Structure 1
Amino acid sequence: MTSSPSLLDTLRQVVGAAHVLTEGDLAAYEQDWRRRERGRALAVVRPGSTAEVAAVVRACAAQGVAIVPQGGNTGLSVGSVPDASGRQVVLSLRRMDAVRAIDGANLTMTVEAGCILQNLQAAAEGAGHLFPLSLAAEGSCTIGGNLGTNAGGTAVVRYGNTRELCLGLEVVTPQGEVWDGLSGLRKDNTGYDLRDLFIGSEGTLGVITAATMKLYPRPAARLTAWAAVPSMQAAVDLLGLAHQHLGAGLTGFEVMGQFALGLVDKHYPQLRVPLWREAPYCVLLENSDHESEAHARALFERLLEAALEAGCVSDAVVAESLAQAKALWHIRESIPLAQAEEGLNIKHDISIPIARIPAFVEETDALLAREIAGVRLVNFGHLGDGNLHYNVQAPEGGDAKAFLRDEEERINTLVFDSVARHHGSISAEHGVGSLKAAKLPRYKSKVALELMRAIKGALDPQGIMNPGRVLV
């Protein structure tokens, strides 16, 4: 249904004319971060409070106008931009960026959905606590978007995805009502878990406007090590040793393929990537210790001694300072940027049971090499929680645009079918968005999809919340 001329006037009355954008350069709101798609919005509306969000939703619902909730617009699955119809309202939460409260006794922080993740981390640190969610886009992504996609990042092995870090939500329903679930209770068995229903729903069930998140004590020391390993199986074996020696202190465990690190070395030689020429994979480990740096270093040394003796590590370096540790993490975080410098590529965000990852990689590497001439695989990711970014770079020297146009669908099918054979998921932390929505019927059970559609129909009977995302 198209809007009547009065809708924009109503929205201006609700949030102020300055916060209803219909003209000028709206690319920051209408184009996804990877520049895969550019839509056209009826308007970009920027409410400043939960009450304003509710009023905007009620106005749109009254006229059947679709709403696209948006945070930092840093998603990788095209889930937060409008379609090309010019009839959807982008609901930007960026103005709602306040830290409402920090409760040191409860170890919680209540923040609005538009709060940038890095600012949330800084506020926690300023209060003497740790908020452990960390990912490459933390300088621009928002906690509402993190919750909407159930983002992961580099510390999932210890602290879990965003879902595990959330104790409560404030949500505006598709009817414009407000559910206040911000109690921060760790135990509340009074019915269905509505919080978990909205987390990971990508704005298709309602608009997350605020959240109560868990805080943790700051560790006394953090140490980072970089290890060269002779195979993916060796990396999995090292992970087992790390769990054994470090226990809950293991907060990060990243794997990086040789070609992925070679791209960083090629495009950012100043970063001085260590050990990458010597082994097919390197691993980045982080140990957070609540006793002392000396204790942390002793644990790390025993771990690496055991790993060298077991043959799952060929060489390793331990960062001697915070600056060195940051430099090592910067190398890991530069892989996607180096990929972009190299040219167009096909991204996959998959999860596999950790024990099956070596077999998956061996099988799928060989399959793609056999099927796609000149294929280049950029394999890296969060091995500690079974999440790989198993990306395919266009062949060197070829027409990258033509490669994507002609081969993307076939490559996706080859990779996703292999993921299914190994009992994995085609989306680990980036969400489904519109890029993978049509794929779900092939890779998710019929019963699961029927339940999801029943929930969507019950909560959003008009179908106005982020249509075309997750379910099609």
Structure 2
Amino acid sequence: MNEIARGTIERLIAVVGPQGAITDPDDMAPYLVEWRDKWRGKSALVLRPSSTAEVAEIVRICAETGTAIVPQGGNTGLVGGSIPFEGGDEIVLSLGRMNRVRAVDPLNDTITVEAGCVLADVQAAADEAGRLFPMRIASEGTCQIGGNLSTNAGGTAVLRYGNMRDLVLGLEVVLPDGRVWNGLRGLRKDNTGYDLKHLFIGAEGTLGVITAAVLKLYPRPADRQVAFAAIPNPEAAVELLSLAKDVSGGQVTGFEILPRLGLELVMKSLPDARDPFGDLHPWYVLIEMSSGEGGGALREAMETALARGYEKELVADATIAESEAQAQQLWALREGLSESQKLAGGSIKHDVSIPVPKMPAFIARADRALEEVIPGFRSLAFGHIGDGNVHYNPLQPEGADAEAYLARWQEVADVVHGIVHEMGGSISAEHGLGRLKRDEVRRYKSEVELELMASIKRMLDPDNIMNPGKVISP
């Protein structure tokens, strides 16, 4: 695409007014860089519309002039999907001003929100209505619903509630020609043809701009129990997960695994973090159960699960939070892992999913394979083992040069992703493809899948103006 014409820029600014347009390079800078500083893009204009009508008019002008659009939410993504390329011929469409909660319906257990709503604000609005919106991710204070939907975000409660695809009943979307599809229906049963919303969830803005959504709500838990347990190995984690689900009657909300190295990194990075146990252990799991009923039954279920785990030698030690403050402290040991990795130097990150029973074998096999490639690397495998999603992030060897190590990113990814594919897994569990994995996914998806994706893209966006170069190759 060519440089954006001055006349086009002026037309676009007129849609949102001076308060909704950013042209100063310094003010645009936060919109052009990825959270990990892996990509820095360029743009002549950042637009911040305040309504669906403004989004539709922006898209119509861009369709008429062949101007590429990069939709952006809270810009917390990790695969470069919300960052423009370096050519400067794309505009950034930031939805942050579209942050209204349009409706809350406690009887129907739904909340209708605009795409720019911050996830934590949606959680708070649900709580105020006596309900729960269960999506929980580390960036919830910054990320926005539109981005969560566009990447089909996962998080720590997928085991119980599912990912964003499972939490949505309806969408409002501006299509690549500027038309608005109003699919904001709060229906749990609507068997009238293709379920169009699923085209846009996980599409990373390549098929249209999500402007609003009807989300599912749930009863607010009356009881929540959080435990931190020391275990001998990942095999024990899988067995303990099954035991906990059986004992609790399916009330396990979260089940997270982390190795000793991960706990040590968190304790170094968080001043208040403490090791819950006196002895060192190779692996740990964080378990959360929640229920709509009080009365102590859930506490008994947690205690029973841990006791049986101890009897089966699945658990070496455990502690159960005695207060909400203690529960938050235990969760901090898991949630602090992403940020704390910066202390370890180079970290080559993988967001992969494997069938849960195969997770221990995957970790062991990947560790062996990478030791042959990079002797002395440090294995850091952690995450949502309850739903088969592990963040396998091998760290540089002690004392190694970080830049030289990170230069081997693709070499390491080839090893890890090859094993994932052989074991029936996915190379992207919850982060998406963006530009990081756009080309790599071609090695693992069938030609039929790729052609179906390309056909949908060509049909909805024939001029390739919606986030071009992301998710699927042109």
* TM-score normalised by structure 1 residue count: 0.98
Residue 276 of structure 1 deviates from its aligned partner by 8.7
2:79 alignment partner, SS class: coil
Aligned pair in 2 of structure 1 residues 10, 324: CA closer, same or farther (>3 Å)? same
Asked if the contact 1:264/1:273 (under 8 Å) is kept, the reply is no
Asked if the contact 2:229/2:317 (under 8 Å) is kept, the reply is yes
Residue 295 of structure 1 deviates from its aligned partner by 1.2
1:424 corresponding residue in structure 2: 425
Residue 293 of structure 1 deviates from its aligned partner by 5.0
* Cα distance in 2 for residues equivalent to 1:277 and 1:62: 66
Residue 226 of structure 1 deviates from its aligned partner by 0.5
1:108 corresponding residue in structure 2: 110
1:123 corresponding residue in structure 2: 125
* Cα distance in 2 for residues equivalent to 1:14 and 1:196: 29
**Which amino acid in 2 is paired with 1:16?**
G
* Cα distance in 2 for residues equivalent to 1:11 and 1:277: 62
Residue 397 of structure 1 deviates from its aligned partner by 1.1
**Which amino acid in 2 is paired with 1:89?**
I
Residue 248 of structure 1 deviates from its aligned partner by 2.9
Asked if the contact 2:344/2:396 (under 8 Å) is kept, the reply is no
1:168 alignment partner, SS class: strand
**Which amino acid in 1 is paired with 2:131?**
H
RMSD: 1.1
Determine which of 143, 147, 159 is the counterpart of 1:141. Answer: 143
* Cα distance in 2 for residues equivalent to 1:12 and 1:205: 23
2:239 corresponding residue in structure 1: 237
1:329 alignment partner, SS class: helix
1:328 corresponding residue in structure 2: 330
1:430 alignment partner, SS class: coil
**Which amino acid in 1 is paired with 2:231?**
V
Matches within 5 A, 1:290-439: 290-405=292-407, 407-439=408-440
**Which amino acid in 1 is paired with 2:173?**
V
Residue 42 of structure 1 deviates from its aligned partner by 2.0
Residue 24 of structure 1 deviates from its aligned partner by 3.3
1:33 corresponding residue in structure 2: 35
1:420 alignment partner, SS class: helix
**Which amino acid in 1 is paired with 2:360?**
P
* Cα distance in 2 for residues equivalent to 1:101 and 1:269: 40
Query: Any idea what the Cα deviations from partners look like across 1:101-141, whole Å, max 9, x if unmatched?
Result: 00111100000000000000000001110000000000000
Residue 301 of structure 1 deviates from its aligned partner by 1.1
Residue 341 of structure 1 deviates from its aligned partner by 2.5
Asked if the contact 1:231/1:280 (under 8 Å) is kept, the reply is yes
Q: Quick check: 108-117 or 268-277, which moved more? A: 268-277
Aligned pair in 2 of structure 1 residues 153, 84: CA closer, same or farther (>3 Å)? same
Residue 13 of structure 1 deviates from its aligned partner by 1.4
* Cα distance in 1 for residues equivalent to 2:399 and 2:357: 36
2:91 alignment partner, SS class: strand
2:142 alignment partner, SS class: coil
2:108 alignment partner, SS class: coil
* Cα distance in 2 for residues equivalent to 1:368 and 1:392: 8
* Cα distance in 1 for residues equivalent to 2:449 and 2:163: 21
Matches within 5 A, 1:189-268: 189-268=191-270
1:457 corresponding residue in structure 2: 458
1:92 corresponding residue in structure 2: 94
* Residue 159 of structure 2 corresponds to residue 157 of structure 1: yes
1:418 alignment partner, SS class: helix
Residue 396 of structure 1 deviates from its aligned partner by 1.4
* Cα distance in 2 for residues equivalent to 1:241 and 1:267: 33
1:41 alignment partner, SS class: coil
**Which amino acid in 2 is paired with 1:50?**
T
* Cα distance in 1 for residues equivalent to 2:308 and 2:131: 33
* Cα distance in 2 for residues equivalent to 1:77 and 1:368: 23
1:467 alignment partner, SS class: coil
Query: Any idea what the Cα deviations from partners look like across 1:306-343, whole Å, max 9, x if unmatched?
Result: 11111111111000100000000011111111101222
Matches within 5 A, 1:283-294: 283-294=285-296
2:67 corresponding residue in structure 1: 65
* Cα distance in 1 for residues equivalent to 2:304 and 2:220: 24
Residue 4 of structure 1 deviates from its aligned partner by 2.3
* Cα distance in 2 for residues equivalent to 1:32 and 1:351: 23
* Cα distance in 2 for residues equivalent to 1:456 and 1:60: 17
Asked if the contact 1:33/1:75 (under 8 Å) is kept, the reply is yes
Q: Quick check: 276-285 or 362-371, which moved more? A: 276-285
**Which amino acid in 2 is paired with 1:63?**
T
* Cα distance in 2 for residues equivalent to 1:268 and 1:373: 29
Asked if the contact 2:259/2:380 (under 8 Å) is kept, the reply is yes
Residue 275 of structure 1 deviates from its aligned partner by 3.6
1:445 corresponding residue in structure 2: 446
Residue 290 of structure 1 deviates from its aligned partner by 1.7
* Residue 20 of structure 2 corresponds to residue 19 of structure 1: yes
Asked if the contact 1:347/1:392 (under 8 Å) is kept, the reply is yes
* Cα distance in 1 for residues equivalent to 2:36 and 2:147: 16
* Cα distance in 2 for residues equivalent to 1:61 and 1:245: 56
Aligned pair in 2 of structure 1 residues 471, 276: CA closer, same or farther (>3 Å)? farther
**Which amino acid in 2 is paired with 1:424?**
G
Residue 279 of structure 1 deviates from its aligned partner by 2.2
* Cα distance in 2 for residues equivalent to 1:7 and 1:269: 51
**Which amino acid in 1 is paired with 2:189?**
K
Asked if the contact 1:68/1:466 (under 8 Å) is kept, the reply is yes
Query: Any idea what the Cα deviations from partners look like across 1:66-102, whole Å, max 9, x if unmatched?
Result: 1000000000111001111111010000000000000
Aligned pair in 2 of structure 1 residues 323, 50: CA closer, same or farther (>3 Å)? same
**Which amino acid in 2 is paired with 1:430?**
H
* Cα distance in 1 for residues equivalent to 2:186 and 2:459: 26
2:44 corresponding residue in structure 1: 42
* Cα distance in 2 for residues equivalent to 1:344 and 1:372: 13
Asked if the contact 1:219/1:290 (under 8 Å) is kept, the reply is yes
* Cα distance in 2 for residues equivalent to 1:21 and 1:268: 36
Where does structure 1 lack aligned partners over 5 or more consecutive residues?
Answer: none
**Which amino acid in 2 is paired with 1:450?**
E
1:381 alignment partner, SS class: strand
Q: Quick check: 8-17 or 448-457, which moved more? A: 8-17
Residue 277 of structure 1 deviates from its aligned partner by 5.4
2:409 alignment partner, SS class: helix
Residue 414 of structure 1 deviates from its aligned partner by 0.3
**Which amino acid in 1 is paired with 2:444?**
Y
* Cα distance in 2 for residues equivalent to 1:217 and 1:458: 40
